[in-house]
Amino acid sequence: MFVIFGTKIKRKTLATKREHCLGCVITTEHELVDTSKWLTLFLIPIVSYKNEFYIRCKACGRDDHVSESRSRSFKRNSKIMEK
Ligand SMILES: [Zn+2]
């Protein structure tokens, strides 16, 4: 018998908002992305061990890693994708 361990990354868009981008220097749509890393057993996610938030420019694709408190402030006054 053998056991297959692995990892999996799940990405979820939480909210969208128009902001000024430092990459393409225009005001455009940005999305808040929640990225969680999971340990898998036989390809089934079992335990989440790391959670990070990014704000991504939809025009140029620039990613900015943000703290959880910054992600909460982004959600305010933005279009929430899901709860
Ligand atoms: Zn941009």
Q: How far apart are CA 1 and CA 44, in angstroms?
A: 18
* 28, two tokens: 């455009």
31 CA from centroid of ligand 1 (Å): 11
Torsion of Cα atoms, 3 then 47 then 83 then 79, to 10°: -90
37 CA from centroid of ligand 1 (Å): 26
25 CA from centroid of ligand 1 (Å): 7
* 43, two tokens: 């390809």
* 33, two tokens: 């992305």
The reported pLDDT for the residue numbered 76 is: 85
The reported pLDDT for the residue numbered 52 is: 95
Q: How many domains does the chain have?
A: 1
Would you give per-residue pLDDT tens digits along the chain (83 residues)?
888 999 999 999 999 999 999 999 999 999 999 999 999 999 999 999 999 999 999 999 999 999 999 999 998 878 877 65
Enclosing domain of residue 25: 5-80
Residue written as token pair 């704000």:
55
The reported pLDDT for the residue numbered 83 is: 55
The reported pLDDT for the residue numbered 45 is: 93
22 CA from centroid of ligand 1 (Å): 6
Cα 49 to chain centroid distance, Å, stands at 15
